[in-house]
Structure 1
Amino acid sequence: MGRRPHVLVVPFPAQGHVMPLMKLSHRLVSRGIKVTFVTTEFIKAQFMAASPEKCEESDRIHLVSVPDGLEPGDDQNDLIKLIKTIPRIMEGHLEDIIRKINKSDDEQISCVIVDTTIGWALDVPVKMGIKRATYYPSPPAFLALNLKIPKLIEDGIINNNGKTYYGNLCCYRGTNKKNEMALSLSLTNNHAVKVSNWVLCNSFYELDPLLHDLIPNLLPIGPLLSSNRLEQPSGSFWPEDSTCLSWLNKQPARSVIYVAFGSIAIFNQHQFDELALGLELVGLTFLWVVRSDHAVYPDGFRDRVAHHGKIVKWVPQQKVLAHPSIACFFTHCGWNSIMDGLSMGVPFIGWPYFSDHFYIKRCICDVWKVGLGLDPEEDGIVSRHQIKSKVENLLHDEGIRVNVLKMKEIARQAVSDGGSSSKNLQEFIKEIMTL
């Protein structure tokens, strides 16, 4: 074999960022490209614990770990702290990794792919004269908005804290601290796009054609779906409970409510109780992903739903959503979950948690019309009665069902031979091959 192109992939260390870039990495290696995948030490340990048999190093994809700057006992899900600590630690390590590979490996780094969330890391390949791509982990429309933030600041429409001068939050919902973090990330995204040769995203052109002209060098290459090859690591931080698939096999078609809120979203006890009691009130079979071992359920709940509810810690989501027994998807509106659901033609109950989730919920409900949304009531809680009502309305709405099946077909065509995303990925790989 001659010299292969060698790509360094650097995700932000969170589940929703790592998984799509792992999926992209598998596509690259399937086309003969060598990949070095950079994770933090904590995440590599989670990979190994989740699926050790799939994480053995090979000559095509190589896991390299670096410190994340957090102290022992720090919360690895504290995104604000991670965003602050990683730049102090990773940049030097990244340069060392590239220099070491280029010194000892005949297949030197041809291109570096970096998550926009850590767009400052692109300064390393810029300095070293290496081609660069950035991967945006959210809807491209949100990136188009982020690219306008510097102009909004320059024109005095928003201030440096991310607020309008009328006191309203500009783009995001949350505390001032979270809003300032979001503004900082938008500026990082701007930098990433500015210094990159390509901007990759987990979307497809047909989802919003007008965006293509708003983002320089944009290449939608999604939906990024998992490979069926069992030996490939999925990028999951937790072991996937495959017993849910055999359980789903026993359920009638379109009879199961799938409930999963990603890797970060959490509920207070009052809201957790209302969700549990809402699922019980609906009375339909449900599959509920609850990450915590320490969840406290309402008294008697587990016994009352034992015959029609299955509660697990983590699942192979794409396979679950593809199962014919799934009727709808309760989701936090994370972008990866939305791409999974659209690809499988499953209607949504949208329950946004933070940041872009609120925008995505509007797309689900008002733009694509593929689902219904939940809204907190005056006390800030989504009630069990609203949950029951929305599920019943969704399952009786044939218009939503028709729309989501149309979207499924468009998504599948995009990644099929000759489709828009397939062509974009081929273009990207062809250019890497010539470096």
Structure 2
Amino acid sequence: MGITHFLAIPFPILGHINPLLQFSQVLVTYGCKITFLSSDENYHKLKSACADAGHAKVIDSNIRLVSLPDGVDPEDDRKDQARVISTTINTMRVKLPKLIQDVNALDSENKISCILVTKNMGWALEVGRQLGIKGALFWPASATSLASFNSIQRLIDEGTIDSKTGLPTKKQEIQLSSNLPLMEAAAMPWYCLFNSFFFLHMKEEMQNLNLAERWLCNTTFDLETGAFSTSPKLLPVGPLMANDHSVLCSLWEEDRTCLQWLDLQPPQSVIYVSFGSMVSLKPNQFNELALGLDLLKRPFLWVVREDNGFGLNNAYEFQGSLGKVVGWAPQKKVLSHPAIACFISHCGWNSTIEGICNGVPFLCWPFCSDQLMNKTYICDVWKVGLGFDRDEKGLILKEEIKKKVEQLLGDEEIIERSSKLMEIIIKNKAQGDQNLNMFISWAKD
């Protein structure tokens, strides 16, 4: 037998590419070979990022980057996820069989053993099945959010949600299974994203994803115990960030000056603020956050992307003598820095795992998708963070920001629970490694 060869296919956004690339690096340390398929646009970004030797960005030689067009025109808005999903499926699906054939022709001893996809790329599992290739899902969010998507049809059949929109049929809390927490219907990950398109897409997508024989999640059994009883396919392989592997290429240039700046700050003094790669604040909310950080009179590190609609230059005006504003940060290094006191976060799963693994308490500012569900876990299940209250116009005011940061940093129990949760997660790593070994053996046979 040759070595296990995975064809990794992420949906072409940062929140899927980075976790799957990180997972690919981990698989390489287990002796696997990876062909990593991205859209043409992201392929060129990855190639140029990895050629930037000045930042010591590398991809292991056992990971080969390949690309296909995703059909998104240069003038199209890549934040329009509905458009990107539709064109990617329609364009890549017809070209994938030929790419697989070409990849296998290059190394006939080590043909592709398994196709590994993220959400929205389930169509590739169908292509793989037609070619007799095994399929697995790498889910870049929580196991609970996957369990919720997998429950869509049952919730429709029970009359809990509407079959066309996914909206709740009446005001009620939803419990996906007897050992999962009760959640507001609004916390379901399809509830506030792209209206009914995304709900109907995911209802169909779950049929594709069920073609995968394994569902891998960057989580641990102790973090989401209840989720693993909902499907035998679910396999916790985290925390992946704890693996020591090559430096990842980032599609976006990181401003590493913030690490030197953090070195100058007292221990547990800095408020870290980042809302991930997709979310943008409206100008009035942006101003309230800036004024709230100013009111605190504490050092803060604030990630403001250049494409946030308000402008990085405008944010620089707010940093004052205590703050540091950057366009993008090396987040894992930031969260592991002793100067960090807390994390004002959108509660995306990657950020949630990275914060937990470093024992950092959260202030939760979720927007959509699985972020509301993650906030429920952070605040109500794990109890390692607090949420913000909004005013009658839906704004989080500067006084509320100041109040909640001070409340969090004064709450010894939350800080202690954050440290304990970190210890539990790191202990879970052995089980994650064992599951990973089992998965690789299955993919190879």
Provide the TM-score with structure 2 as the length reference.
0.90
When structure 1 is superposed on structure 2, of 3-12 and 321-330 the one drifting more is 3-12
The equivalent of 1:295 in structure 2 is 310
Partners of 1:177 and 1:322 lie apart in 2 by: 34
TM-superposed deviation, 1:295 = 3.4
The equivalent of 2:443 in structure 1 is 432
The equivalent of 2:14 in structure 1 is 15
The equivalent of 1:109 in structure 2 is 112
Does the CA-based 8 Å contact 2:3-2:32 persist in structure 1?
yes
Does the CA-based 8 Å contact 1:51-1:239 persist in structure 2?
no
TM-superposed deviation, 1:297 = 8.0
Opposite residue 292 of structure 1, the aligned amino acid is E
- Structure 1 pair 56–92 and aligned structure 2 pair: CA distance change class (3 A): farther
- Structure 1 pair 57–140 and aligned structure 2 pair: CA distance change class (3 A): closer
Partners of 2:312 and 2:277 lie apart in 1 by: 19
Does the CA-based 8 Å contact 1:11-1:17 persist in structure 2?
yes
The equivalent of 1:68 in structure 2 is 70
Does the CA-based 8 Å contact 1:219-1:424 persist in structure 2?
yes
The equivalent of 2:342 in structure 1 is 328
Unpaired runs of at least 5, structure 2: 173-184
TM-superposed deviation, 1:77 = 2.1
Note if 1:414 corresponds to 2:428.
yes
- Structure 1 pair 36–118 and aligned structure 2 pair: CA distance change class (3 A): same
The equivalent of 2:30 in structure 1 is 31
What does residue range 113-128 of structure 1 map to in structure 2 within 5 Å? 113-128=116-131
TM-superposed deviation, 1:120 = 1.9
TM-superposed deviation, 1:76 = 1.6
CA displacement, residues 82-140 of structure 1 (integer Å, 9 cap, x when unaligned): 11111101112222211111223222101110113221221011111111111112111
Note if 1:246 corresponds to 2:263.
no
TM-superposed deviation, 1:350 = 0.5
TM-superposed deviation, 1:153 = 2.5
CA displacement, residues 376-434 of structure 1 (integer Å, 9 cap, x when unaligned): 2211111111100010000000110111111101111112xxx221111121122234x
The equivalent of 1:314 in structure 2 is 328
Partners of 2:46 and 2:243 lie apart in 1 by: 17
The equivalent of 2:199 in structure 1 is 182
TM-superposed deviation, 1:36 = 0.4
What does residue range 261-300 of structure 1 map to in structure 2 within 5 Å? 261-292=275-306, 295-296=310-311
- Aligned with 2:241: secondary structure? coil
CA displacement, residues 32-58 of structure 1 (integer Å, 9 cap, x when unaligned): 111000111111222234342467776
Partners of 2:313 and 2:214 lie apart in 1 by: 50
Q: How high is the sequence identity, in percent, across the aligned residues?
A: 38
Counterpart of 1:368 (choices 375, 382, 395) is 382
Counterpart of 1:136 (choices 115, 136, 139) is 139
Partners of 1:268 and 1:93 lie apart in 2 by: 39
Does the CA-based 8 Å contact 1:57-1:63 persist in structure 2?
no
Note if 1:163 corresponds to 2:130.
no
- Aligned with 2:273: secondary structure? strand
When structure 1 is superposed on structure 2, of 114-123 and 377-386 the one drifting more is 114-123
Opposite residue 85 of structure 1, the aligned amino acid is T
TM-superposed deviation, 1:327 = 0.2
Does the CA-based 8 Å contact 2:50-2:58 persist in structure 1?
no
- Structure 1 pair 296–147 and aligned structure 2 pair: CA distance change class (3 A): closer
Partners of 1:12 and 1:195 lie apart in 2 by: 17
TM-superposed deviation, 1:152 = 2.5
The equivalent of 2:178 in structure 1 is none
- Structure 1 pair 242–226 and aligned structure 2 pair: CA distance change class (3 A): farther
The equivalent of 2:49 in structure 1 is 50
Partners of 1:177 and 1:6 lie apart in 2 by: 35
- Aligned with 1:225: secondary structure? helix
Counterpart of 2:216 (choices 183, 186, 200) is 200
Partners of 2:439 and 2:404 lie apart in 1 by: 42
Partners of 1:175 and 1:347 lie apart in 2 by: 26
Cα RMSD of the aligned pairs, angstroms, is 2.3
- Structure 1 pair 56–371 and aligned structure 2 pair: CA distance change class (3 A): closer
CA displacement, residues 329-364 of structure 1 (integer Å, 9 cap, x when unaligned): 010010000000000000001000111111111111
TM-superposed deviation, 1:305 = 3.8
Partners of 2:190 and 2:90 lie apart in 1 by: 28
The equivalent of 1:92 in structure 2 is 94
Partners of 1:305 and 1:104 lie apart in 2 by: 53
- Aligned with 1:116: secondary structure? coil
Does the CA-based 8 Å contact 2:25-2:245 persist in structure 1?
no
- Structure 1 pair 176–138 and aligned structure 2 pair: CA distance change class (3 A): closer
Provide the TM-score with structure 1 as the length reference.
0.92
Partners of 1:204 and 1:212 lie apart in 2 by: 10
The equivalent of 1:237 in structure 2 is 251
Partners of 2:302 and 2:206 lie apart in 1 by: 34
- Structure 1 pair 37–226 and aligned structure 2 pair: CA distance change class (3 A): farther
When structure 1 is superposed on structure 2, of 77-86 and 263-272 the one drifting more is 77-86
Does the CA-based 8 Å contact 2:312-2:327 persist in structure 1?
no
Opposite residue 160 of structure 1, the aligned amino acid is K
Note if 1:209 corresponds to 2:209.
no
Does the CA-based 8 Å contact 1:10-1:113 persist in structure 2?
yes
Opposite residue 133 of structure 1, the aligned amino acid is A
TM-superposed deviation, 1:6 = 1.1
